[in-house]
Amino acid sequence: MARQLDEQISGRFPVGQRLRVLDVGMGQGTQALRLARAGHQVTGVEQDPKMVSVARAALSGEPEGIRERMRIIEGDGRDTGVHFLPGSFDVVLCHGVLMYVEEPDALLAGLARMLAPGGLLSLLVRNGDALAMRPGLSGDWAGALGAFDTVSYTNRLGLEVRADRLDALTATLAGIGAPLHAWYGVRVFTDTAADGAEIPADVEALLAAEERAGRTDPYRRVAALLHLCGVRG
């Protein structure tokens, strides 16, 4: 995931350019901090005050140069127009958030407006075309059968949320002026691994296999998550 994002960033922007990055639904800020450490100017927006505190605590432990490059705003990702001017960012991330948003098109249109021409919109969503894979590979046949004709699912936190289909998102991205430029599957082979499972000794080979499958048809189509990259025209 991080490797795919870096690949898209380095393919679009000159090496060493300090990019203006907006991370919507930043959670504890892992990705945002990584990009700030890499020299970019990062703004994180997060609606959960607990997550904001965790992200602020993590940032406070960073050297001054990195602290100065990162800003954290407590707020709703649907309100970016209140905080920023259109075209203010080179890269907008929205990772693991869309499933919680009832009407994603308005959020996405707002995020596309935040991008400067040529800017990158990076989305990580649950793959609505392959919801039967997780129950099916776990031997939950009733669950698998029930997952074919729906885009709702119960996530690992027990919340009823929504997955998104590749075709629908492709059409949305085209309609909001940030057409799909590249996409990847994420968690093709490892989706059924237990939370907190021990890291295997051959983790490098595992990551290489995931990485390869994530960019190869047909494997990427049945990944648990999709990483979509749109580019502002």
Ligand X SMILES: C[S@@+](CC[C@H](N)C(=O)[O-])C[C@H]1O[C@@H](n2cnc3c(N)ncnc32)[C@H](O)[C@@H]1O
Binding-site ranges for ligand X (CB under 6 A): 24-27, 30-31, 45-48, 51, 76-78, 95-97, 100-101
Residue closer to ligand X by CB (options 72, 136) is: 72
Beta strands at 20-24 and 152-154: parallel, antiparallel or unpaired: unpaired
Residue closer to ligand X by CB (options 131, 136) is: 131
Q: How far is CA 172 from CA 168, 199, 221, in A?
A: 6, 37, 18
Shortest reach from residue 44's CB to ligand X, in Å: 9
Shortest reach from residue 155's CB to ligand X, in Å: 8
Cβ atoms of 94 and 121 closer than 8 Å? yes
Residue closer to ligand X by CB (options 101, 121) is: 101
Shortest reach from residue 37's CB to ligand X, in Å: 16
Shortest reach from residue 171's CB to ligand X, in Å: 22
Whole-number Å distance between alpha carbons of 124 and 96: 5
Tell me the residue nearest to ligand X as measured from the CB.
27
For 113-133, letters b (16+ CB in 10 Å) and e give bbbeeebbbbbbbbbbbbbbb
Residue closer to ligand X by CB (options 114, 136) is: 114
